[in-house]
Structure 1
Amino acid sequence: MRLEKILDKLGSIEKNSFIKIIDSIISKNPKNKKEINEILITSDKGLKSVDSQNIANIFTLISSEFKEHIKSEFQEITSQLDILIDIIIKDGNCIMKQDWFSRLYEAEIKNLNSKIKSLNADFENEKSDLSEIRKRDYQIYKSCLYTAYKNDVESNRDPRITSDELSILLTLSKQLGLSQEEIKLINYSILPIKKKDIQDVIKELKNIGVIFYSNKENTIYVADEMVRILREVREKEVAEKFYRRTLKLLREPIINQIAREHNIDRNHTFSQKIEGIIKEGVPFTNLLLSKIYKSDSTLTQRKKILNELCEKGLNIKNLKGATLDEKIESLIKYFDNVERDEKVGISLDGFDKLLSELNVTLPKLNMQIREQFQFQEEHVLKADFLLDYNIKPRDILDLISKEDLKMFIRENGIKQRGDDILNILEFYKDVENLYLENYENVAYRDLNQLKENGIAIKESELGLKFEELTKVIFKGLGFNVDDKFRNQLNTKKDMMDILLNLGNDEIIIVECKSVKERGYNKFSTVSRQLKSYQNLAIKNNLRIAKILLVSPEFSDDFIADCELDTEMNLSLVPAASLRNIFEAFKDSTYQEFPYVLFRDIVINEERILKALRK
């Protein structure tokens, strides 16, 4: 769930710790202080009075400073931050009830203690699966960590890992090729884990700003933006779902090779071994630099293998970069952009239909998804629910075996030639709803963005499409979009785009203007056009309740000219605001939208959304 949405759900007390930390960072002159001040200048009561959207914008501007704030917390040796962060950044754990978090925490400590015991036994057992080289690597890291920890005790100081010591230990662990899980096991073999009270754990995480806690709902929230920062802190370069997507493309001998190196049981199934590699926290870059190739493969061969993995397996054409490192960096950036993208790839209705039909063909899928993402809820195959956890259609399809995917395709009449997952996504695209989700892009006539989102349309068709979609929205708001009456009124000279018939000879006139340039600024032209529509209506003894002008946005000059106009009852409606109102209306108790809410020069979206939620 995005930070803005979480902030909207919570009260001021529940946001207080997070706001204090942001305030503290701002007071220390962060690198984007100028941009932050531009946001804050409209607020005379400081950060606490800033709306959720702008707090989220400020958080983006101070993300690098916030990351350093979290890193500094790792110097507290007893914090257990590595354990706790690994729990809350796991796919599916960004929203958790307190009791569920408590269970995951207890299970993780129990699991770590068991693995520490097993690792210590392997150290002493000459016949263990651990190679002598791996034992040596573990011992080197353990000895260095022991020295960093004990030198404070010997100097009669509280034990801490300083930032310099932590930097050295991180470098050492990378050079030794240790996974995050291996590092944890060695760390806690020196400093035994003490299980804390869950309320204390939540308080600590809340106080350093990484979680929000709703007392009313007993629920922990971790924002998508926060998860990305915490993942960086833990040196995890991609989300688990993308790591899994990549590993599933590898042959089993390669998976076995990686499992052997990191002490993962090779007798497990293919899927279990993949989950074990992800759980271990094997660095993604290291995996693609060396672990997926034969030991004697040349650099040219490695680049060819990586290119084929991306092009044929991940459907990423022309991966940027000349060197292997640059190609891997490009792949990580690609996954990061996919994760940040709010677009689902298919419409929400299409996603719901896909989940419903998957559930019919694969009745065990609901339980599989619950277990994979550690969900507490019983029925999880719901689009809105999964999207709150940033889980998209492709992420669900990635978890289904090839055999089950092919069975699903056959049973639902989906195209069988080509890539199975892409064929399924295309089948459930649901074009009308996909257009509605791209309403603002149509308004801006943004062909490139529309194409990227799977919509093929000619530029000459965009104006009419914007008008059609606006009609769909007003119908969805409960209005009578009366095309028949409009056609009777229209003349060759005066042709209204949309007429909303309120009954009793009362109407609303809606004009749609899609424009490429930012800041619509042609008031004199559009006002003449709207006044002629007004005169046409009056001539036919109609009362005009409102005139609405819908466009992607309006310039300050346009708004100022509109404010000075005394002849029309005109309101300006930004396209994004109209779509947000439409989405809120669907969840409201109203049968028909109360058009009296359209009373501002530029409609006040926040006030209207608040009214609809009452």
Structure 2
Amino acid sequence: MKLERILDKLSSIEKNSFIKIIDNIISKSKAKSKEIEKILAPDNKGLKTVDNLNISKIFDLTADEFTEYLKCEFQEVNSQLDILIDIIIRDGNCIMRQDWFSRLYEAEIKVLNAKIKALSAEFKDEKSELSAERKRDYRIYQACLSTAFFNDVANNREAKITSDELSIIITLSRELGLSQEEIKLINYSILGVKKLDVQEVITHLKNIGVIFYSKKENTIFVADEMVRLLRKVRKKEVADKFYRRTLKLLREPIINTISKNHNLDRKLPYSQKIESIIHAGISFTDLLLDDIYKEGTTLTDKKKALNELCEKGLEIPNLRGSTLNEKIESLIQYFEAVEKDEKVGISVDGYDKLLTDLHQSIPTLNKAIKEHFELQDEFVLDAEFLLDYNIKPRDILDLIEKPDLDKFKKDHGVKLRGDDILNILEHYKDVENLYLENYENVGYRNYNQLKENGIQIRESELGVKFEELTKIIFKGLGFNVDDKFRQELNTQKDLMDILINLGNNEVIIVECKTSKESGYNKFSTVSRQLKSYQNIALKNNLRIVKILLVAPEFSDDFVTDCEMDVDMNLSLLTASTLLSIYEAFKNSKYMTFPHVLFRDVVINQERIVKALSK
């Protein structure tokens, strides 16, 4: 769930710890001060008075500083922060009731203690599958960590790992090629691990700004933006779902080699071995730099293999970068962009239909998804519910075994030739809803993002499509979009985009503008155009209730010029605001949108959404 939505659910007291940390970062950060001041400028009363959307924007601006702040928290060796973060960054754990979090935490401690015991036994067992080289790596790391921790005790000081010691230990672990799981096991074999009081754990995580806790709902929330930040802190470059998608393209002998190199059980079934690699926290970069190739593979062949993996397996053509490292970084950035994108590849309605049909063909799927994502609710195959957890259609399909996918395709008439998952997603694509979900991208003429989200359209058609979608939205708001009357009024020179007929000779004129630039800024051109439409309407004895200009965004100069214009009753409406109003209207008590709410120069989304919810 996005940070803004979580903040909307909470009281000011429940947000307080997070706000304090951001406030402290702002006071120390000079690099971002101008951008932050621009957001705070309208009120200039500090962060507590800023709306939740702008708090979210400020968090994005201060993400690097927040990351550094959390790295300092890791120096508190008894905080168990690594264990706790590993729980809350797993796919499906961003929303948890307190009792469920308590169970997950308790289970994690039990598993960790069992693994520490097993590792200690392997150290002593001469017949262990651990190679002599790997045992040596473990001992080197263990000895260095032990020295860093216990040298304080020897000097009659509190046992603590300083930031300098920590940076050396992190460098050592990287050079030894240790996974996060291996590091964690060795760390706690020295420090010891015991279960802490769960309420203390929640309070600690809340106080350092990592989670939010709603007393009213007795629920922990971890924002999507925070999950991405925490993964970076834990050196996990991609989400588990993207790691899984990549691993599933590898043959079993390669998976076995990776497992052997990191002391993982090779006797497990193929899918379980993949999960153990993911949970081990093996570096995604290291995996694609070395682990997936045969010994002795040349750099040229590695690049060729990676290109093939991306183009044929992941369906990502033209991976950027000339070196192997640059290509891997491009792939990580691609996965980050897919994760940040709120669009789901198919419409929400299409997602719900897909889940209904999957449940029909694979009755065990609900239980499998519930267990895999550690979800507390009994029935989880619901699109809105899963999207709150940032679980998209592709993430569900990636978990289904090939025989079950084949059965599902036959049951529901999905095309059999070609890529199974892409064929299924195409089959459940609801084009009109998919376009509406991408309304802002159409307005921005963001051709590449539209293509990525499964929309095939010529760039030259985007202006007309934006106008069509705006009509659909206004019709959805209950208005009479009167194309026949509009055509009667239009001349060869002056062509209105949309005319809303309110009856009794009253109309609303709507003009649509797409723009690739950041901020629509051509007021002089558009004002002449709108005044000519106004004159046509007045000549036909029509009362113009409102003129609306819809665009992806407006520059500050454009807004100022609009405010100074006294000849037109003009309001500016961004694409994102119009779409939010439409979504709020669908759940409101109104049959037709009360157009009197269109009274600002720049239409205020928050005010209108609040009015519709009453």
| Normalised TM-score (structure 1) | 0.94
Give the Cα separation in 2 of the matches to 1:45 and 1:576.
Answer: 27
Structure 1, 404-413 or 372-381: larger mean CA deviation = 404-413
Give the Cα separation in 2 of the matches to 1:555 and 1:479.
Answer: 29
What displacement does 1:524 show?
5.1
Note if 1:152 corresponds to 2:179.
no
1:181-200 to 2 correspondences below 5 Å: 181-200=181-200
Give the equivalent residue in structure 2 for 1:166. Answer: 166
Query: Does the Cα contact within 8 Å between 2:344 and 2:453 map onto a contact in 1?
Result: no
Q: Tell me which amino acid in the other structure corresponds to 1:597.
A: L
- Over 3 Å counting, the alpha-carbon distance change for 1:447 and 1:305 in structure 2 is closer
Question: Could you list the per-position Cα deviations for residues 81-120 of structure 1 after superposition, in whole angstroms to 9, with x for gaps in the alignment?
Answer: 0100100111111111111111100000011111112222
| Normalised TM-score (structure 2) | 0.94
Query: Does the Cα contact within 8 Å between 2:480 and 2:500 map onto a contact in 1?
Result: yes
Give the Cα separation in 1 of the matches to 2:96 and 2:124.
Answer: 40
Give the equivalent residue in structure 2 for 1:289. Answer: 289
Give the Cα separation in 1 of the matches to 2:242 and 2:449.
Answer: 23
- Over 3 Å counting, the alpha-carbon distance change for 1:396 and 1:30 in structure 2 is farther
Give the equivalent residue in structure 1 for 2:240. Answer: 240
Give the equivalent residue in structure 1 for 2:409. Answer: 409
Query: Does the Cα contact within 8 Å between 1:551 and 1:575 map onto a contact in 2?
Result: yes
Three-state SS of the structure 2 residue aligned to 1:345 is coil
What displacement does 1:197 show?
1.0
- Over 3 Å counting, the alpha-carbon distance change for 1:192 and 1:564 in structure 2 is closer
Give the equivalent residue in structure 2 for 1:310. Answer: 310
Query: Does the Cα contact within 8 Å between 1:30 and 1:65 map onto a contact in 2?
Result: no
Q: Tell me which amino acid in the other structure corresponds to 1:475.
A: K
Note if 1:84 corresponds to 2:84.
yes
Question: Could you list the per-position Cα deviations for residues 206-264 of structure 1 after superposition, in whole angstroms to 9, with x for gaps in the alignment?
Answer: 11111111111111111112111211111111111111111111111221222223332
What displacement does 1:579 show?
1.2
Q: Tell me which amino acid in the other structure corresponds to 1:185.
A: L
Identity within the alignment, %? 72
Aligned residues: 614
Task: Give 5+ residue unaligned stretches, structure 1.
Answer: none
Give the equivalent residue in structure 2 for 1:204. Answer: 204
Question: Could you list the per-position Cα deviations for residues 322-346 of structure 1 after superposition, in whole angstroms to 9, with x for gaps in the alignment?
Answer: 3333332222222222222223222
Q: Tell me which amino acid in the other structure corresponds to 1:580.
A: S
Give the equivalent residue in structure 2 for 1:142. Answer: 142
1:438-453 to 2 correspondences below 5 Å: 438-453=438-453
Query: Does the Cα contact within 8 Å between 2:343 and 2:438 map onto a contact in 1?
Result: no
Give the equivalent residue in structure 2 for 1:251. Answer: 251
Q: Tell me which amino acid in the other structure corresponds to 1:344.
A: V
What displacement does 1:460 show?
4.3
Give the equivalent residue in structure 2 for 1:357. Answer: 357
Three-state SS of the structure 2 residue aligned to 1:501 is strand
Give the equivalent residue in structure 2 for 1:590. Answer: 590
What displacement does 1:314 show?
1.2
Give the equivalent residue in structure 2 for 1:18. Answer: 18
Three-state SS of the structure 2 residue aligned to 1:68 is helix
Give the equivalent residue in structure 2 for 1:369. Answer: 369
Note if 1:332 corresponds to 2:328.
no
Structure 1, 275-284 or 558-567: larger mean CA deviation = 558-567
Query: Does the Cα contact within 8 Å between 1:477 and 1:593 map onto a contact in 2?
Result: yes
What displacement does 1:564 show?
4.2
- Over 3 Å counting, the alpha-carbon distance change for 1:184 and 1:447 in structure 2 is closer
Give the Cα separation in 1 of the matches to 2:449 and 2:248.
Answer: 30
Three-state SS of the structure 2 residue aligned to 1:78 is helix
Give the equivalent residue in structure 2 for 1:266. Answer: 266
Three-state SS of the structure 2 residue aligned to 1:363 is coil
Query: Does the Cα contact within 8 Å between 1:181 and 1:279 map onto a contact in 2?
Result: yes
Query: Does the Cα contact within 8 Å between 2:180 and 2:282 map onto a contact in 1?
Result: yes
Q: Tell me which amino acid in the other structure corresponds to 1:465.
A: K
Three-state SS of the structure 2 residue aligned to 1:572 is strand
Query: Does the Cα contact within 8 Å between 1:30 and 1:62 map onto a contact in 2?
Result: no
Query: Does the Cα contact within 8 Å between 1:522 and 1:558 map onto a contact in 2?
Result: yes
Give the equivalent residue in structure 2 for 1:35. Answer: 35
What displacement does 1:162 show?
0.9
Give the Cα separation in 2 of the matches to 1:455 and 1:590.
Answer: 32
Give the Cα separation in 2 of the matches to 1:316 and 1:13.
Answer: 45
Question: Could you list the per-position Cα deviations for residues 586-612 of structure 1 after superposition, in whole angstroms to 9, with x for gaps in the alignment?
Answer: 233333211111111221112111112
Query: Does the Cα contact within 8 Å between 1:359 and 1:366 map onto a contact in 2?
Result: yes
- Over 3 Å counting, the alpha-carbon distance change for 1:569 and 1:255 in structure 2 is same
What displacement does 1:199 show?
0.8
Give the Cα separation in 2 of the matches to 1:181 and 1:477.
Answer: 53
- Over 3 Å counting, the alpha-carbon distance change for 1:28 and 1:568 in structure 2 is closer
Note if 1:386 corresponds to 2:386.
yes
- Over 3 Å counting, the alpha-carbon distance change for 1:64 and 1:520 in structure 2 is closer
Query: Does the Cα contact within 8 Å between 2:508 and 2:545 map onto a contact in 1?
Result: yes
Query: Does the Cα contact within 8 Å between 1:74 and 1:81 map onto a contact in 2?
Result: yes
Query: Does the Cα contact within 8 Å between 2:180 and 2:280 map onto a contact in 1?
Result: yes
- Over 3 Å counting, the alpha-carbon distance change for 1:296 and 1:495 in structure 2 is closer
Give the Cα separation in 2 of the matches to 1:523 and 1:235.
Answer: 48
Q: Tell me which amino acid in the other structure corresponds to 2:166.
A: L
Give the equivalent residue in structure 1 for 2:112. Answer: 112
What displacement does 1:474 show?
0.9
- Over 3 Å counting, the alpha-carbon distance change for 1:409 and 1:197 in structure 2 is same
Give the Cα separation in 2 of the matches to 1:422 and 1:400.
Answer: 14
Question: Could you list the per-position Cα deviations for residues 168-217 of structure 1 after superposition, in whole angstroms to 9, with x for gaps in the alignment?
Answer: 22222222222211221121122221211111001111111111111111
What displacement does 1:459 show?
4.3
- Over 3 Å counting, the alpha-carbon distance change for 1:472 and 1:263 in structure 2 is same
Query: Does the Cα contact within 8 Å between 2:89 and 2:227 map onto a contact in 1?
Result: yes
What displacement does 1:528 show?
5.0
Give the Cα separation in 2 of the matches to 1:539 and 1:250.
Answer: 71
Structure 1, 517-526 or 342-351: larger mean CA deviation = 517-526
Q: Tell me which amino acid in the other structure corresponds to 1:406.
A: D
What displacement does 1:80 show?
0.4
Give the Cα separation in 2 of the matches to 1:31 and 1:374.
Answer: 40
Query: Does the Cα contact within 8 Å between 1:130 and 1:263 map onto a contact in 2?
Result: yes
Note if 1:51 corresponds to 2:22.
no
Structure 1, 546-555 or 105-114: larger mean CA deviation = 546-555
Give the equivalent residue in structure 2 for 1:480. Answer: 480
- Over 3 Å counting, the alpha-carbon distance change for 1:240 and 1:556 in structure 2 is closer
